[in-house]
Amino acid sequence: MSKIIVVTSGKGGVGKTTTSASVATGLAERGYKTVVIDFDVGLRNLDLIMGCERRVVYDFVNLINGESNLSQTLIKDKRVEQLYILPASQTRDKDAITVEGVGRVMEELKGQKFDYIICDSPAGIEQGAKMALYYADEAIVTTNPEVSSVRDSDRILGILQSHSRRAEQGEEPIKEHLLITRYNPKRVAEGEMLSVSDIIDILAIKLLGVIPESEQVLAASNSGKPVILESDSDASSAYRDCVARLLGEELPIRFTEVQPKGLLKRIFG
């Protein structure tokens, strides 16, 4: 049975698309047939991070409008066997996405036996973000350890609890997961960032993982590669932990403490 997961937040620039790409890639690597959908109509960044921007012929809006079919629109990833990308349009308005149109696409994807449908939400609480979360079964609420980011994520939780199809139909609520990105334990210790416990106290949802601040995230994105595929990266390890937890595995949360310097670093700085 297909599971729809939205990756969302109130604030822009917190790593939603990076997270969508890495979580989808991680699930596909585990053998699950996975599609990741870019809901950010008018901007379209997912295809850049996935390294398939030159292969986009038709997009999500074309599919909703019946201007293309699913096999024409889906882009099969060249690196991971079970991974597909559904890109957004750069030339349409966000109002081009409707509840009915998204619903039809979701049913088509379910009919193609996709195990996971990952919805990469645009920032904010407007039409595009509401469309991305409407059909969700689960939500990964992504936040930075900053007061403004956490506050905006709190607003998104309210929308998840009131504006989703599950809420409207009185079904079991969307299962919510907290993902903290760009976490720097040293800056937290110096009082420059909120701690993991501070964020959990404010948002009161279960922690899925902590992604450490890393230059490799930007480097991977610029090279058209989900950071989870960077085998020597702490961010990659953290995302793999998140995927494992999504699948029900119990793992300790890593990358939340300042790492002590080794002998050579203490000697040579």
Strands 75-76 and 3-8: unpaired
State the pLDDT at residue 261. Answer: 62
Report how far residue 93's alpha carbon sits from residue 185's, in angstroms, rounded to the nearest whole number.
40
State the pLDDT at residue 96. Answer: 82
Report how far residue 259's alpha carbon sits from residue 7's, in angstroms, rounded to the nearest whole number.
29
Q: What is the mean pLDDT of each run of 10 residues along the chain (269 residues)?
A: 94 92 98 97 91 96 95 97 95 82 97 98 86 97 95 93 94 97 96 96 97 94 95 95 98 90 52
State the pLDDT at residue 263. Answer: 46
State the pLDDT at residue 8. Answer: 96
Residue 77 identity: D
State the pLDDT at residue 259. Answer: 74
Report how far residue 175's alpha carbon sits from residue 156's, in angstroms, rounded to the nearest whole number.
13
State the pLDDT at residue 11. Answer: 82
Q: What is the 3-state secondary structure (H, E, C) of 32-55?
A: CCEEEEECCCCCCCHHHHCCCHHH
Cα–Cα nearest to 14, from 145, 160, 134: 145
Phi/psi at 236 (5° precision) = -60, -45
pTM for this predicted structure: 0.94
